[in-house]
């Protein structure tokens, strides 16, 4: 097709309806005589997404948001299980290190503990960031956002040193 060709509005609307019904790109391409690339462009212009296998999605933005939320919850649960296993492994390794008399083996066990704790931090880091973002999204005004940040700073600040003048 020539450059600058635009699909007629009625054909584009028909393609959007077929996408929402959950038909695949090849099915729609064959039915309407459009290329897969054109169908992708139509989907982007009309803000519809292709249904994912097993998602129960109709391709509408709301349905896709629900599918993403389900996947996010599933991944969060998986990360929690992995984090628990890492903490259990750390506990077992520390117990072994406490009773180990050979300095080299003790050092190896402590290095294993350190690696498990770094892995735990990496696994849980995303969830910590997400919970902070959720708090920020809940704040509707600039003042509320400042209060959320200030509360976070106070919560993570070290205790004051003795001898400092406090009011």
| 165 part of a folded domain | no
| 4 part of a folded domain | no
| 34 part of a folded domain | yes
Pick 26 or 66 by higher pLDDT: 26
Read off the tokens for 150. 């200030």
Q: How many domains does the chain have?
A: 2
Compute how many other C-beta atoms are within 10 angstroms of the C-beta atom of residue 45. Answer: 12
| 163 part of a folded domain | no
Domain assignment of residue 28, given as a range: 9-45
**Average pLDDT score, the chain:** 77
Same-domain pairing of 77 and 141: yes
| 147 part of a folded domain | yes
Distance from the Cα of residue 34 to its chain's centroid: 34
Q: What is the C-alpha separation between 60 and 43, in angstroms, rounded?
A: 10
Task: Give the model's pLDDT for residue 55.
Answer: 46
Same-domain pairing of 151 and 127: yes
pLDDT digits (tens, 9 = 90+) for 47-72: 887 766 444 555 556 666 666 676 77
pTM value is 0.41
Same-domain pairing of 35 and 113: no
| 166 part of a folded domain | no
Q: What is the C-alpha separation between 138 and 132, in angstroms, rounded?
A: 10
pLDDT digits (tens, 9 = 90+) for 88-111: 998 999 899 999 999 999 999 999
pLDDT digits (tens, 9 = 90+) for 129-157: 555 555 555 555 666 667 767 777 777 76
Distance from the Cα of residue 108 to its chain's centroid: 34
Same-domain pairing of 73 and 135: yes
């Amino acid at each position: 097709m020539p450059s600058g060709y635009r699909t007629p509005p009625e054909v584009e609307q028909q393609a959007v309806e077929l996408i929402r019904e959950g038909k695949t790109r090849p099915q729609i391409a064959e039915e309407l005589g459009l290329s897969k690339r054109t169908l992708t462009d139509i989907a982007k212009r009309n803000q519809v997404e292709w249904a994912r296998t097993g998602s129960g999605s109709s391709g509408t933005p709301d349905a896709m948001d629900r599918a993403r939320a389900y996947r996010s919850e599933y991944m969060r649960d998986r990360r929690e299980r992995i984090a628990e296993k890492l903490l259990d492994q750390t506990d077992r390794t520390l117990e072994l290190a406490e009773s180990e008399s050979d300095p080299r083996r003790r050092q190896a066990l402590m290095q294993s503990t350190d690696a498990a704790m770094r892995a735990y931090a990496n696994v849980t880091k995303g969830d910590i960031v997400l919970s902070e973002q959720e708090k920020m999204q809940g704040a509707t005004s600039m003042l509320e956002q400042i209060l959320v940040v200030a509360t976070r700073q106070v919560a993570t600040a070290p205790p004051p040193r003795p001898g400092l003048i406090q009011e």
